[in-house]
Amino acid sequence: MIVLLIGPQGSGKGEQAARLVKKMNLLYFAAGDLLRDLAQENSKTGRQINQIINIDGKLIPDDLMNQLVFGFLDEQNLSSGIVFDGYPRTSYQFEELEKYLEGIGKKIDKVVYLKISEQTAITRLASRRICSQCKAVYNLVTDPPEKEGVCDECGGTLTQRPDENPEAIRARLNAYYQLTEPLIGQARARGILEEVDGERPIEVISEDLVKRLTSFGVGK
Ligand code: AMP
């Protein structure tokens, strides 16, 4: 099964993807993780990506993004299915992914839309902290660490993502509303949209999602 997770920043895509992957034994592709790794490379592309994602808060140009994703997919065995988190993010990326999958005899089976309000997105992003060592994610309001600034898992220092200052958050949400939200209409038109209330507790959403996707048929 090929599943896309769509929703504003802070809607819990990463969290839900991790649970889905585990419970349904799917591969996982996180666009942001791939880009953050590349942004650390001291190459022309690495510096370009760093500038765009960490300083400008904009999207990577579609053609570069597609090239990176298809390069990754070329190396994978997609037979047990995959969850995409953070890709596609524009109509063009969506259509190019459809073409790529068609070329290998596959299709997008479901687009899960994790719906939260803009205010919830802003609050969640501003209170998100990440362990600089093991990458565990905390929320200072709903899921704080036991000791302030210290990771419960490994004792590492908790930091904020460089693109989670108020200005970058605004720019990223604007890009989401302008460029990514139209995908929801495209998915609805194709009859593959699953709209999910993303304001509920994480485990409740996860159970709901697994139930919906299981009834659709794993491995289809
Ligand atoms: P994320 O961790 O998913 O919020 O991604 C972090 C940043 O990477 C985004 O703010 C964008 O700058 C960039 N990015 C992630 N996915 C994409 C995509 N599909 N297309 C273009 N840029 C992306």
**Per-residue pLDDT, 153:** 96
- 168 CA: nearest ligand 1 atom: 10
In contact, 82 and 27? CB cutoff 8 Å? yes
Ligand 1 pocket test: which of 54, 59, 92, 160 has the largest number of ligand atoms within 8 Å of its C-beta? 59
- Work out the mean pLDDT of the chain and round it to a whole number: 93
Query: Is the pLDDT score of 118 beyond 80?
Result: yes
Contacts of 180 (CB under 8 A, 6+ apart): 6, 89, 90
**Residue 58 has what pLDDT?**
84
Nearest to 80 by CA among 19, 119, 27: 27
C-alpha span between 135 and 82 (Å, rounded): 22
Q: What confidence tier does 216 reach under pLDDT thresholds 50, 70, 90?
A: confident
Q: Is the CB of 34 under 6 A from ligand 1?
A: no
Which residues are marked as active site?
A: 13, 89, 128, 161, 172
CA of 56 to the centre of ligand 1 (A): 12
Q: Which residue has the tokens 């190459």?
A: 43
Distance CA 66, CA 61 (A): 9
Mean pLDDT, residues 192-217 taken together: 93
Characterize the bridge pairing of strands 158-159 and 128-131: antiparallel
Q: What is the pLDDT of residue 143?
A: 86
Supply the pLDDT for residue 91: 96
Cis peptide before 88 (omega within 30 of 0): yes
E-state strands within 11-93: 27-30, 82-85
Q: Is 50 in the pocket of ligand 1 (CB under 6 A)?
A: no
Q: What is the pLDDT of residues 6-53, one digit of tens each?
A: 999 999 999 999 999 999 999 999 999 999 999 999 999 999 999 999
Q: Which pLDDT value is given to residue 217?
A: 66
Tell how far the Cα of 175 is from the centroid of ligand 1, in angstroms. Answer: 10
Q: DSSP string covering 115-181, please?
A: E--HHHHHHHHHTEEEETTT--EEETTTB--SSTTB-TTT-PBEE--TT-SHHHHHHHHHHIIIIIT
- At which residue do the structure tokens 């960490």 appear? 54
